[in-house]
């Protein structure tokens, strides 16, 4: 995969960056969205494909993007298709920082050092060319305004933007309510984007961590007509320990 175009994770992160403060909107859900955006990008590159509610590797050939190839290799090592909610809900510590550093190397953002409470070091990231962010949002605006089915990349980006809660950041206030509603509706235009977006929302709602149900008591077998118990949750993200002198990055 060439680097002539921005990837969906990069575009999602640029949409989330506040041009004034240099912080990212919806930081916790954004981390889930970036993991989901990687899946969409790999699907568009022909490396993975949906298999029901699971993700299957159909071609392990590297894309040329180190971060995407790392995700592809992890998926390949699973051996069998993995549920989208388990993949997205798994530990992805540092993914947002990885993409911020990449955007900085590409010259799309620049780091601004500062301090919190005059003591803790902070780093914020501001776009070096706000025209890029405006162009990305203009694609969403066009899809919302015209009602014409967008291209798969824009549809997937819209689905992820809705899933991580960027609607209120992009279209704030009462005047943006109808745009937020239409942004949500764009989720139906891309099957992979829809699968991933719903998985992101399920993880946020705790669906991935639900206890297994319909499980027969110990020593008894389920009847012939019983439904199998859901797969136990795996990969629920661990909360990182933050020490008092932890370095604060864009949030």
Interval 19-62: pLDDT, tens: 777 788 888 899 999 999 999 999 999 999 999 999 999 999 99
The pLDDT tens digits for 147-185 are 888 999 999 999 999 999 999 999 999 999 999 999 999
Predicted TM-score (pTM) of the model is: 0.77
Please, which contacts does 65-69 make with residues 24 or more away whose CB atoms are closer than 8 Å?
A: 65/1, 65/3, 65/7, 65/41, 67/9, 67/38, 67/98, 67/99, 67/102, 68/1, 68/7, 68/38, 68/41, 68/42
């Amino acid at each position: 995969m060439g680097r002539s175009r921005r990837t969906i994770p990069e575009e999602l992160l640029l949409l989330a960056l506040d041009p004034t403060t240099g912080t990212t909107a919806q930081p916790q859900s954004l981390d889930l969205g970036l993991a989901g955006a990687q899946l969409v990008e790999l699907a568009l590159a022909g490396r993975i494909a949906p298999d029901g509610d699971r993700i299957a590797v159909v071609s392990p050939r590297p894309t040329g993007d180190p971060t995407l190839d790392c995700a592809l290799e992890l998926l390949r090592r699973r051996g069998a298709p993995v549920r989208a909610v388990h993949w997205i809900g798994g530990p992805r510590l540092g993914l947002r920082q990885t993409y911020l550093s990449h955007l900085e190397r590409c010259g799309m953002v620049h780091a601004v050092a500062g301090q919190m409470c005059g003591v803790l070091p902070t780093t914020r990231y501001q776009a070096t060319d706000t025209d890029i962010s405006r162009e990305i949002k203009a694609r969403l605006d066009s899809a919302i305004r015209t009602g014409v089915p967008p291209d798969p990349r824009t549809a997937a980006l819209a689905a992820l933007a809705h899933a991580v809660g960027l609607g209120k950041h992009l279209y704030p206030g009462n005047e943006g309510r109808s745009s937020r509603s239409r942004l949500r509706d764009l989720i139906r235009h891309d099957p992979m984007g829809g699968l991933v977006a719903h998985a992101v929302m399920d993880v946020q709602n705790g669906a991935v961590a639900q206890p297994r149900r319909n499980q027969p008591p110990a020593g008894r077998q389920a009847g012939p007509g019983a439904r199998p118990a859901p797969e136990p949750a795996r990969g629920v993200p661990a909360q990182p320990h933050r020490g008092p002198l932890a370095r604060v990055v864009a949030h």
